[in-house]
């Protein structure tokens, strides 16, 4: 980089070469630097792509797993009755509630469907069910929302990478 930034006449004088040979040298050095930067960016993009593939495989396996196991919360029917005693009742399964209580970052342990259920839940009902204050329940819902958004972004990035790679395969 230093050799590229040095004025051509100074470098030519120091190397006892003509300015044209010095220009060729500087151009070659610049090309090497550009190629290294492109390789670095390609490696980063490939790592991102592989990470997205792993995340998608993980999400897809969790979805497939959750589809084969019947969910208790799907059987919950809203009877339309409400009273003060039922405010702690939620559509969330005991397993989800246990994960929310016990895990330091439960949004990372839940699958996407469970995250959506937590987001749809009334904040006050969630706070009551977990025996937390409303602010802590809101913070949990915000963390779940951010994690769900991040997962969606990863899937969109993966689809974009796939469509880009498919487009390159069809070119001559």
pLDDT means over runs of 10, the chain (172 residues): 89 90 92 92 90 80 64 49 47 82 80 86 88 89 89 84 71 53
Contact 105, 143 (CB under 8 A): yes
For residue 144, give Cα distances in angstroms to 53, 89, 100. Answer: 21, 20, 10
Please tell me the distance from the alpha carbon of residue 57 to that of residue 65, in angstroms, as a whole number.
12
* Cα 116 to the center of its chain, rounded Å: 16
Owner of token pair 């592989």 = 50
pLDDT (0 to 100) of residue 34 = 92
pLDDT (0 to 100) of residue 80 = 47
Please tell me the distance from the alpha carbon of residue 69 to that of residue 28, in angstroms, as a whole number.
61
Contact 97, 88 (CB under 8 A): no
pLDDT (0 to 100) of residue 70 = 54
pLDDT (0 to 100) of residue 118 = 87
* Alpha-carbon torsion, ordered 78, 80, 81, 82, to 10 deg: 80
10 Å CB burial of residue 14 (0-12, 13-18, 19+) is exposed
Please tell me the distance from the alpha carbon of residue 153 to that of residue 157, in angstroms, as a whole number.
6
pLDDT (0 to 100) of residue 85 = 40
Alpha-carbon torsion 158, 151, 94, 104, what sign? Answer: positive
For residue 143, give Cα distances in angstroms to 73, 107, 128, 147, 164. Answer: 22, 7, 18, 6, 31
């Amino acid at each position: 980089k230093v050799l590229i930034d040095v004025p051509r006449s100074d470098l030519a004088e120091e190397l006892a070469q003509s300015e044209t040979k010095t220009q060729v040298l500087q151009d070659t050095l610049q090309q090497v630097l550009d190629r290294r930067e492109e390789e670095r960016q390609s490696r980063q993009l490939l790592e991102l792509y592989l990470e997205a593939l792993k995340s998608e495989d993980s999400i897809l396996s969790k979805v497939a797993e959750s589809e084969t196991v019947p969910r208790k919360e799907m059987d919950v029917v809203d009877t339309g009755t409400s009273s003060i005693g039922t405010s702690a009742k939620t559509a969330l399964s005991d397993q989800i509630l246990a994960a929310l209580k016990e895990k330091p970052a439960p949004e990372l342990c839940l699958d996407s469907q469970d995250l959506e259920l937590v987001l749809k839940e009334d904040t006050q009902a969630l706070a009551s069910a977990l025996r937390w204050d409303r602010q802590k329940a809101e913070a949990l819902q915000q963390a779940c929302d951010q994690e769900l958004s991040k997962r969606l972004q990863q899937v969109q990035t993966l689809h974009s990478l796939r469509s880009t790679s498919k487009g390159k395969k069809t070119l001559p």
